[in-house]
Structure 1
Amino acid sequence: MGAAQNENSPPAVQTIANAEESPWSVKTVAMKVAGWIDRLGAVWITGQIAELSARPGARVAFVTLRDTAENASLQIMCPMKLLREDPAIKEGSEVVVHGKLSFYTARGTLALWADKIRAVGIGELLARIERLRKQLASEGLTDPKRKRPLPFLPGGVGLVTGRASAAQQDVLSIARARWPQVDFHLREVAVQGPGAAQAVIGALRELQGLAEVEVIILARGGGSVEDLLTFSEEALCRAVAACPVPVVSAIGHETDRPLTDDVADVRAATPTDAAKRVVPDVALERDRLHEMRGRSAAALRGWVDREQTRLASLAARPVLADPHAMLRARAEGLGGAQSALRRCLLGQLERERHTVAAAAARLAALGPAATLARGYALVQDADGELLRDPAQVKPGARLRIRLAGGVLGAMTTKEIP
């Protein structure tokens, strides 16, 4: 390692301008990269041990340190004595490492020589989880208002779980016992250890792309806090929150609460509880249907009985018992009114007749007919003008004489002295 570091120290060579006409050699580029990395100095990094290679008798162990949230890794070399000082350091452990990065120009590889390495304690892990929980809450990803209801009877159910795990058997057996026709789309992935979070994210994205999948279950059995760390990874939590399909988080037991429980649409206490929440019980639904049918039939019979009672009550009313009674009463009233009207008209006619007779008597007494009856006559000329003076006519004029018994025609002969 010491030789490598000497090899990677900044080159004491003349700086040559880089251009198409004067390109750098591979060694020059490697030396410059080594110089840049050397200036970075010692750093603290954290990650998960994905691979640990320690041959018996060797003084140096080779470790692949993987980022817990992203698909990135780094090679680390450390003295064997550092691993012996902390027995908790093994594959899958979360660790904090202090060391200096070096670029090996001969191979063009980057590695970190560690001088300190320790496993992350449970208290630090819990504190990290709580910080992330608060961050997700501040972004609204745990808000109950954004959680979606589960479909009553999903056409397809996605299940992400460990290979041949007890959680998988619990979900499948309980769900199929409740509804034998349920259609599961199973994705078996690693649910613990390096790369588990990315594997779960890949399965989640694959299932959400299937049109027939209407709900997805993330299921894992119980375990220690370290065993369940996969389901508190930030990348997985954000993938669950962004999933367009409702997600049920069924991780561990009732007392376990990884971060996927907070961002999922539904938190199930156990994988068995998830199966019960997602798939309805066919026997229970049949009992409910039978009960609802009975209640509906009873309600319908009650309604029919009430309506029959109302109809009987209406039919017993006089207006419906004898519909013509009202007509007869109205007819009698109308007959009385007609009789009264007839009597009124006849009385009025009789009074008017007497009035006319009296007027006629007065007219007869005062009219010319009575005068003519006493022997008087009315003389008119040919034009019908009443003559009152003999001077009004000339000899030979035609006259019309009206007597009580009729009319005579006459002609004047001469004037009578």
Structure 2
Amino acid sequence: MSDSSQANRSGPDQAGAGPRDADRPRSLAWVVRAVKGWVERCGPVWVQAQVIELNRRSGPTQFLTLRDVDEEISVTATCHRRVLDAAGPVETGMTVTALLRPTIWSRTGRLSFECSQIQPSGEGQLLAQLERRRRLLEAEGLFDVALHTPLPMLPAGVGLITGAHSDAERDVIRNASLRWPAVRFVVRNTLVQGSHAVEQILSALAELDADPSVDVIVIARGGGSLEDLLPFSDEALVRAVHAASTPVVSAIGHERDNPILDLVADLRASTPTDAGKRIVPDMAEELGIVDQCRSRIRQAVAARIATEQSRLDGLRSRPVMLEPTATLDIAEERLEATVARMRLATDRCLETAGHQIDQYLAQIRAMSPKATLDRGYAALADERGNSVATVGATATGARLRAYLSDGALGVLVESATPTTSRSPAKETS
């Protein structure tokens, strides 16, 4: 008979082991399966516990450790990823209501629980509701950083929405006044918790947003529980801040408090004190910056003056500035030398041209008719002045004019005898 059949037949309701049972020991697997059967007959049960550890993994199975809200009892549970995703934001320290089914791991005999449903309860339920609201508003684009308006460097007026005579009001005004004593506040005291807080905050926001003398609006409140800070996660307030034309600063609670107003505001201050420091500049720092700028300007002007003085001294130290006429003297000497060279060159050119002219005149005179006449020849011309070079150009009885070297003679042609010459043929014969 196998161990499993024995377990089924004897069952967990049998009496404890007797002395003789040591001779017939059960296997460890039989014991684990018997315990597993006893435990799993309990079925699933709803429990309320606190999440003290949540180990998210990349796979579908997730591990979390739950602790009883009253006693120091903790168990390990597994659940599918989609169970956690459907539950909303489940974080460490949150109180939840979970549907657990106890079971025994067959290989290790360890008690564990399988979680098939989980939902936040108490503050966890509020956080889940706020997370769903945040996701819906984010999907509409209300938290887009590109839509945030930068705060003015020095606001003419600061609108402050806070509780009357509250620490938040004193912190904002005191810290802002310490940084910039001339800051002007327009305070609107409202409820900052409870069912009527949102209505009053919306009214004050609309009034300050319409005031042209207000350049920035601060919504401030000190710390508090999650329920106390619920008005600052109200959808109507979030949409009103998004629609406001004046930059809005959110200064709610402490650093760990994160109402939805922080996401839509143009600037999120960690505390009211931090808001007072960020809405106005520090006068001491600004005066220091002004002094530094003045010092840099003086240094820049002094450096520029020194540079220009150095350049001026350099120009004044040049020879032309020390003795301006020195350049003119040099130029005058160069001009005189150039003029002398030009005159010498001109004289040489004229002398050469004169010699050439004399040569041309001598040649012309040697070739002129007068030179011929000077050698004893005469030139004949008829009465009309035409030159007579041959006998055939005149006739007997013609009056001619004979030009001599020292005058002219009128002559009468008594005879015209041409000179005869022998032909080559006759000479040959």
Looking at structure 1, the residues matched to 196 and 399 of structure 2 have their Cα atoms a distance apart, in angstroms, of 152
Task: State the 1:246 CA deviation.
Answer: 1.1
Q: Percent identity?
A: 45
Q: Deviations over 1:220-242 (max 9, x none)?
A: 11212221111111221222122
Counterpart residue number, 1:166? 167
Counterpart residue number, 1:277? 278
Residue pairs, 1:64-75, within 5 angstroms: none
Counterpart residue number, 1:345? 346
* Structure whose CA Rg is larger: 2
Partner secondary structure for residue 250 of structure 2: strand
Looking at structure 1, the residues matched to 146 and 320 of structure 2 have their Cα atoms a distance apart, in angstroms, of 61
- Does residue 154 (structure 1) correspond to residue 155 (structure 2)? The answer is yes
Counterpart residue number, 1:116? none
Task: State the 1:189 CA deviation.
Answer: 1.5
Residues 1:198 and 1:319: Cα distance change in structure 2 (over 3 Å): farther
Give the conservation status (yes or no) of the 8 Å contact 2:399–2:412. Answer: no
Q: Deviations over 1:241-289 (max 9, x none)?
A: 2222211111112222211112111111222221221122334323332
- Does residue 264 (structure 1) correspond to residue 265 (structure 2)? The answer is yes
Counterpart residue number, 1:188? 189
Aligned residues: 297
TM-score, normalization by structure 1: 0.63
Q: Which moved more, 1:263-272 or 1:274-283?
A: 274-283
Partner secondary structure for residue 251 of structure 2: strand
Residues 1:176 and 1:400: Cα distance change in structure 2 (over 3 Å): farther
- Does residue 405 (structure 1) correspond to residue 406 (structure 2)? The answer is yes
Looking at structure 1, the residues matched to 252 and 202 of structure 2 have their Cα atoms a distance apart, in angstroms, of 15
Give the conservation status (yes or no) of the 8 Å contact 2:380–2:388. Answer: yes
TM-score, normalization by structure 2: 0.62
Give the conservation status (yes or no) of the 8 Å contact 2:400–2:413. Answer: no
Q: Which moved more, 1:168-177 or 1:147-156?
A: 168-177
Q: Which moved more, 1:193-202 or 1:163-172?
A: 163-172
Looking at structure 2, the residues matched to 310 and 134 of structure 1 have their Cα atoms a distance apart, in angstroms, of 69
Residues 1:399 and 1:188: Cα distance change in structure 2 (over 3 Å): farther
CA RMSD of aligned residues (A): 2.8
Looking at structure 1, the residues matched to 271 and 383 of structure 2 have their Cα atoms a distance apart, in angstroms, of 138
- Does residue 231 (structure 1) correspond to residue 216 (structure 2)? The answer is no
Looking at structure 2, the residues matched to 316 and 224 of structure 1 have their Cα atoms a distance apart, in angstroms, of 82
Give the conservation status (yes or no) of the 8 Å contact 1:398–1:409. Answer: no
5+ unaligned residues in a row in structure 1: which ranges? 1-118
Q: Deviations over 1:136-182 (max 9, x none)?
A: 33433333333221111112222111223222222223333433433
Partner secondary structure for residue 301 of structure 1: helix
Counterpart residue number, 2:414? 415
Task: State the 1:216 CA deviation.
Answer: 1.0
Counterpart residue number, 1:89? none
Looking at structure 2, the residues matched to 305 and 194 of structure 1 have their Cα atoms a distance apart, in angstroms, of 72
Q: Which amino acid aligns with 2:341?
A: A
Looking at structure 1, the residues matched to 329 and 260 of structure 2 have their Cα atoms a distance apart, in angstroms, of 87
Counterpart residue number, 1:356? 357
Looking at structure 1, the residues matched to 401 and 175 of structure 2 have their Cα atoms a distance apart, in angstroms, of 136
Partner secondary structure for residue 248 of structure 1: strand
Residues 1:127 and 1:334: Cα distance change in structure 2 (over 3 Å): farther
Q: Which amino acid aligns with 2:195?
A: P
Residues 1:339 and 1:155: Cα distance change in structure 2 (over 3 Å): same
Looking at structure 2, the residues matched to 374 and 243 of structure 1 have their Cα atoms a distance apart, in angstroms, of 132
Give the conservation status (yes or no) of the 8 Å contact 1:162–1:191. Answer: yes
Residue pairs, 1:72-83, within 5 angstroms: none
- Does residue 370 (structure 1) correspond to residue 350 (structure 2)? The answer is no
Higher relative contact order (CA 8 A, sep 6+): 1
5+ unaligned residues in a row in structure 2: which ranges? 1-119, 417-429
Q: Which moved more, 1:245-254 or 1:178-187?
A: 178-187
Residues 1:413 and 1:365: Cα distance change in structure 2 (over 3 Å): closer
Looking at structure 2, the residues matched to 396 and 159 of structure 1 have their Cα atoms a distance apart, in angstroms, of 150
Counterpart residue number, 1:139? 140
Looking at structure 2, the residues matched to 241 and 188 of structure 1 have their Cα atoms a distance apart, in angstroms, of 21
Looking at structure 1, the residues matched to 388 and 199 of structure 2 have their Cα atoms a distance apart, in angstroms, of 144
